[in-house]
Amino acid sequence: MKTNDYVKYMTQTIVKYVDQSKEERKRLRMEKKQMKASFWYRWFGILPYVVYSEVKRRRRQ
């Protein structure tokens, strides 16, 4: 990517961010956070996540 292309991209990104309202930025952040997989699943896979979820569920009961 050439320097001019990068500057153009960064300018467009900044302008897009500034044009959004504060509530919209907050909503998008929350949506992105909810879409992200949990720590246990991302780092250790599905099996430890299932075990952790089951232990957590049993503690509540």
Cβ neighbours for 37, distance < 8 A, ≥ 6 positions apart: none
CA–CA separation, 40 and 52 (whole Å): 8
* 17 token code pair: 């961010």
Decide: 40 and 52 in contact? Cβ < 8 Å: yes
Name the residue ranges covered by the structural domains of the chain.
Answer: 3-60
Q: What is the pLDDT of residue 39?
A: 76
Q: Tell me the per-residue pLDDT of 5-42, one tens digit each, with 9 for 90 and over.
A: 999 999 999 999 999 999 999 999 999 888 887 776 77
φ and ψ of 45, to 5 deg: 90, -170
Q: What is the pLDDT of residue 33?
A: 86
Q: Between 43 and 60, name the one with better pLDDT.
A: 60
* 53 token code pair: 């979820």
CA–CA separation, 4 and 8 (whole Å): 6
